[in-house]
Amino acid sequence: MATKTVTTDTFAQSVLTSDKPVLVDFWADWCHPCHMLAPVLEQLADERADDLVVAKVDVDAYPELAEQYGVRAFPTLKLFRAGRVVHTLVGATPKRVLVAELADHL
């Protein structure tokens, strides 16, 4: 399972009402750290497909989502559970750190 692209139209259904926790990557194409993080998120999506959805929001295409969730730096990762943000990480995070940060919430 790869990461899932979400839009303003699909955000509520894909993220807020998901029966699994959803890690949302707020990213931009011009953001070098975002590109560094992308393969880590793809791996995480594949490895944790049974208990986690990894979604991506292009903040240039959907700035209203970034504004709604207070995203001001990129990449920003927000973990949603039952429609609420339960954890936030900012910046390109190494996989081992990302997994450790998420462990308490999965």
**Catalytic residue numbers, as ranges:** 31, 34
Asked if residue 79 lies in contact with residue 40, where contact means CB atoms within 8 angstroms, the answer is: no
Distance CA 25, CA 76 (A): 6
31 closest CA partner among 6, 7, 50, 58: 58
Asked if residue 12 lies in contact with residue 63, where contact means CB atoms within 8 angstroms, the answer is: no
